[in-house]
Structure 1
Amino acid sequence: MNNARAATAIDERGRSRRDVSDVFDVSDARDVAILAGTSFKHQHLSAILADGLTRGFFEVHAENYMGAGGPPHRALSAIREHYPLSVHGVCMSIGGPDALDTKHLERFRDLVARYEPALVSEHLAWSSHGGAFFNDLLPLPYTEETLQRVCEHIAQVQDAIKRPILLENPSTYVAFASSTMSETDFIRAVTRRTGCGLLLDLNNVFVSAVNHGFSPEAYLAEFPLERVGEMHLAGHDEQRDDENAPLLIDSHDRAVAEPVWDLYRSVVSRIGVRPTLIEWDSNLPDWPVLRAQALAAQRIMEEPTHLFAEEVSDAA
């Protein structure tokens, strides 16, 4: 990973002033580029060490490892001895109206320095306001004011950890009438102004598409795929809203759905392989089930046409 210092300076139009070396490049993740991984859960530790992924990586939620030591760090250190890591923040509240919590940011910085992960990511969402913390990743309006604030927060995080981050697209259930730009235009503007990369969560794309009635393929056609440094795949729950319309919940509690696999094949055929993670956070299966999901992603990544797409992307 290129640990070039990410600039914090944001000019009056919200654009970060930086050298080209501060911009995330997909080649920064080459050490995990052809790897498929899974979320790391402590109950799987012994099974992973006995029969893990021959070629893989593991991702952890940063907030679970912000203490100084103890069993969480012993388990994560055992994994880090054998596998690359991805550190995924879930509570930074990058889209929130308040200033970032500096103590939280310091703990996040120290965790990244301690484990030197191949990938570092956070969410395009907010989860705190006025001293209150919500156990959710909440949507935000896509306006110039919000864009300025998100860019300032991303720049602050990148300056703290001395490297660019990957920003994850959200799964949403409501949209703001006050938005003045599309989600994809907003995300593209964020990458342009801050130099961050993107974590493309294809389950989030599918969930939002069904909930809001748009085409996931059309969304991806407008998404800045050239900035993608990692992809997430996960399962979702199918429900019905009060009007009996389909409502999908980004539940991370089951296997990846076939339409999400289809989107994954399509994206990989267009941009080549990227490190790909299977997220499964509740109703956990035994390790062989989760391992099989990662291997399914690995097989897709290794299809000759997808490797060819990667070579074309490199040449460009």
Structure 2
Amino acid sequence: MLPSTTSGAPSVPVPPLAGIGLRHRHVADFLTDPPDVSWIEVHSETYLAAGGPRLRALETVRRDYPLSCHGVGLSLGSADGIDPRHLNRLATLYARLQPELVSDHLAWSTAGGTFLNDLLPLPYTDEALEIVRRNVERVQERLKRPILVENPSRYLDFAQSTIPEAEFLAELARRTGCGLLLDVNNIHVSAHNTGFDPLDYLSAIPADTVGEIHVAGHAVHDTGCGTLLIDDHGATVADPVWALLTEALRRTGPRPVLVEWDTRVPELPVLLGEAATAARLIALIDKEACDAA
């Protein structure tokens, strides 16, 4: 059991070790026999109800693990700005759970008061950067904490884009003080689909801005004129993504690494096995750094 604050939440930060996303089918396992995993992450919007058994179960599990809350609905890229009702509900949830990390995506999901159930891409321009800057600063002001912003998976490039994605994110972090959630599966998927070098991408990300790293599985589709990678979080992590994680960690040093699995969710031991692979890579990088010192 971790040391706790008066709120019942662990009083230690998310460690630079491997964690897993807590999904509904595994909650009972965590309640009856808490697994040996260093930290957990949940999707914030799953727990926005004011009470109920799902939120109470998370509060119970959370006593044993550092927690990251990963949002999917802030619409940080929306020209309409941040929905104050949604932001207030998140602020209430985070005040209750006291997560050590909070994140959302470089994407938009709302337009004209309509919510679209997807993480939609935006062009990387000076105008878009200013919009995202305003939105991130609004969120951080309301939450009274910095957030992490995740790089998206992409399937096309906008003709209007004038700033490479990694440079866009680096400048966003510089202007707002936010951190970055580096999803190396998304980098691999986007690099394959749009034709950039993932190692050049990693080199453009300031190491000190990376607060968390994600890995996940993806699907491979034959389009008849080549393959398209789809970021579906529905399989084991592919070897090229593990290799890219290793390169990312060599640049950043050990960081909290999360294994995401959101579709066709397997039994808990499978997910813990993926986390064990991530943990071995973190330990490898830590040893390399110690040997070089």
**TM-score w.r.t. length of structure 2:** 0.92
Q: How does 1:129-168 map to 2 (within 5 A)?
A: 129-168=111-150
Q: Is the 8 A contact 2:14 2:67 kept in 1?
A: no
Corresponding residue for residue 26 of structure 1? none
Tell me the CA shift for residue 49 of structure 1: 3.7
Alignment counterpart, residue 249 of structure 1, candidates 230, 233, 245: 230
Tell me which moved more, 221-230 or 193-202. 221-230
Deviations 1:98-132 (A, max 9, x none): 12110000001111111111110010000111122
1:228 equivalent to 2:201? Answer no
Corresponding residue for residue 301 of structure 1? 282
- Supply the AA of the counterpart residue of 1:291: L
Partner Cα separation in structure 2 for residue 311 and residue 137 of structure 1? 42
- Supply the AA of the counterpart residue of 2:280: R
Q: Is the 8 A contact 1:272 1:307 kept in 2?
A: no
Q: Is the 8 A contact 2:37 2:272 kept in 1?
A: no
Tell me the CA shift for residue 271 of structure 1: 2.0
1:296–1:113 distance in 2 versus 1, CA, 3 Å:
same
Corresponding residue for residue 179 of structure 1? 161
Partner Cα separation in structure 1 for residue 196 and residue 167 of structure 2? 16
Partner Cα separation in structure 2 for residue 232 and residue 149 of structure 1? 25
Tell me the CA shift for residue 58 of structure 1: 0.9
Deviations 1:141-199 (A, max 9, x none): 11111111100000000011110000001101121111111111111110110000000
Corresponding residue for residue 275 of structure 1? 256
Q: Is the 8 A contact 1:96 1:128 kept in 2?
A: yes
Corresponding residue for residue 11 of structure 1? none
Q: Is the 8 A contact 1:36 1:55 kept in 2?
A: yes
Q: Is the 8 A contact 2:20 2:37 kept in 1?
A: no
Tell me the CA shift for residue 270 of structure 1: 2.5
Alignment counterpart, residue 125 of structure 1, candidates 90, 103, 107: 107
Partner Cα separation in structure 1 for residue 217 and residue 54 of structure 2? 25
1:48 equivalent to 2:36? Answer no
Tell me which moved more, 152-161 or 42-51. 42-51
* Aligned-partner SS, 1:87: strand
Tell me the CA shift for residue 247 of structure 1: 0.4
* Aligned-partner SS, 2:129: helix
Deviations 1:33-80 (A, max 9, x none): 332111111221232344444341111111111110112102211211
Partner Cα separation in structure 1 for residue 156 and residue 283 of structure 2? 37
Q: How many residues align?
A: 283
Q: Is the 8 A contact 2:125 2:160 kept in 1?
A: yes
* Aligned-partner SS, 1:198: strand
Partner Cα separation in structure 1 for residue 157 and residue 76 of structure 2? 18
Corresponding residue for residue 110 of structure 1? 92
Tell me which moved more, 179-188 or 193-202. 179-188
Partner Cα separation in structure 2 for residue 290 and residue 155 of structure 1? 35
Corresponding residue for residue 3 of structure 2? none
1:30–1:232 distance in 2 versus 1, CA, 3 Å:
farther
1:206 equivalent to 2:188? Answer yes
Q: Is the 8 A contact 1:272 1:311 kept in 2?
A: no
Corresponding residue for residue 14 of structure 1? none
Tell me the CA shift for residue 251 of structure 1: 0.2
Partner Cα separation in structure 2 for residue 229 and residue 306 of structure 1? 16
Partner Cα separation in structure 1 for residue 267 and residue 65 of structure 2? 20
Corresponding residue for residue 21 of structure 1? none
Q: Is the 8 A contact 2:181 2:214 kept in 1?
A: yes
Partner Cα separation in structure 2 for residue 41 and residue 271 of structure 1? 28
Q: Any gaps of 5 or more consecutive residues in structure 2? A: 1-10
Deviations 1:76-98 (A, max 9, x none): 11211111110011011000111
Q: Is the 8 A contact 2:153 2:187 kept in 1?
A: yes
Q: Any gaps of 5 or more consecutive residues in structure 1? A: 1-28
Which 4+ residue blocks in structure 1 deviate beyond 4 angstroms? none
**TM-score w.r.t. length of structure 1:** 0.85
| Percent identity between the two aligned chains | 48
Q: Is the 8 A contact 1:272 1:310 kept in 2?
A: no
